[in-house]
């Protein structure tokens, strides 16, 4: 792993002041960040979200997915608890990249679901790699987490990379008429857990 910590600074947000930590992933030529709040030291599990970049949802407020809403809810929960971390990974479109994601959107507009669209473009349903999380958490001295996710595969991936997931915390937000099929596909084909 060729991950290098670069720098930390303060990041005032509408939810409170987070610390922002920059990491350079030289193996993949990507830059990742961690947003943290509060004292992360000690043996108490840290509330955490592992969030893969979603430009359309996080920055452009797309309602095709629940990504932006999940990020906002995670930041709100961490601010309310006063302690936690978000690992923001540069893995747009479940790992296929922004331009391929737009191609996948076009296929979805033609009737394919999100998994079928990725596969039609020659990709797997989910190409994300969570191995980068372990060295980021090691730098932040975090070994136990309460993971905010609906994805049991993410829980397994984080655990498989040496981080103790003591609890899966459901993170359901942003459901709307534009993403109902998308969420149903995440549950039916990708195993996401929704109430």
Task: List helix spans (H) across 12-132.
Answer: 67-81, 92-95, 98-109, 114-120
Q: Examine the pLDDT at 2 and tell me if it is beyond 60.
A: yes
Q: Is 55 contained in some domain?
A: yes
Q: Is 154 contained in some domain?
A: yes
Q: What is the DSSP string of 110-172?
A: TT--HHHHHHHTT--S-----TTHHHHHHHTT--EEEEE-S-HHHHHHHHHTT-EEEEEE---
Smallest Cα–Cα separation from 163: which of 71, 75, 48? 48
Residues 88-108, mean pLDDT to the nearest whole number: 91
Q: Examine the pLDDT at 189 and tell me if it is beyond 60.
A: no
- Provide the annotated active-site residues: 126, 128
* Tens digit of each residue's pLDDT (9 = 90 or more) over 125-150: 888 889 999 999 999 999 999 999 98
Q: Is 163 contained in some domain?
A: yes
**Residue 51's CATH number:** 3.40.50.10990
Q: Is 57 contained in some domain?
A: yes
Residues 56-72, mean pLDDT to the nearest whole number: 92
Q: Examine the pLDDT at 164 and tell me if it is beyond 80.
A: yes
Lowest mean pLDDT among 2-16, 49-63, 111-125: 111-125
Q: Is 83 contained in some domain?
A: yes
Total structural domains within the chain: 1
Residues 73-78, mean pLDDT to the nearest whole number: 97
Range of the domain at 67: 3-91+128-172
pLDDT confidence of residue 84: 98
Q: Is 42 contained in some domain?
A: yes
Q: Is 107 contained in some domain?
A: no
Q: Is 178 contained in some domain?
A: no
């Amino acid at each position: 792993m060729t991950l290098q910590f670069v720098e930390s600074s303060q990041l005032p947000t509408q939810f409170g002041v987070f610390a922002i930590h920059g990491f350079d992933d030289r193996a993949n030529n990507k830059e990742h960040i961690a947003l943290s709040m509060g004292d992360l030291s000690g043996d108490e599990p840290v509330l955490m979200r592992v969030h893969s970049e979603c430009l359309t949802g996080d920055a452009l407020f797309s309602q095709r997915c629940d990504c932006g809403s999940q990020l906002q809810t995670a930041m709100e929960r961490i601010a309310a608890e006063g302690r936690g971390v978000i690992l923001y990974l540069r893995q747009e479109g479940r790992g296929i990249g922004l331009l391929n994601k737009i191609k996948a959107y076009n296929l979805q507009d033609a009737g394919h679901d999100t998994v079928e669209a990725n596969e039609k473009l020659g990709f797997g349903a989910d190409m994300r790699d969570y191995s980068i999380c372990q060295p980021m958490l090691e730098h932040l001295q975090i070994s136990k987490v309460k993971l905010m996710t609906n994805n049991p595969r993410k829980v397994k991936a984080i655990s498989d990379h040496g981080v103790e997931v003591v609890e899966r915390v459901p993170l359901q937000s942003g459901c709307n008429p534009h993403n109902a099929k998308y969420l149903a596909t995440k549950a039916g084909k990708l195993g996401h857990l929704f109430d």
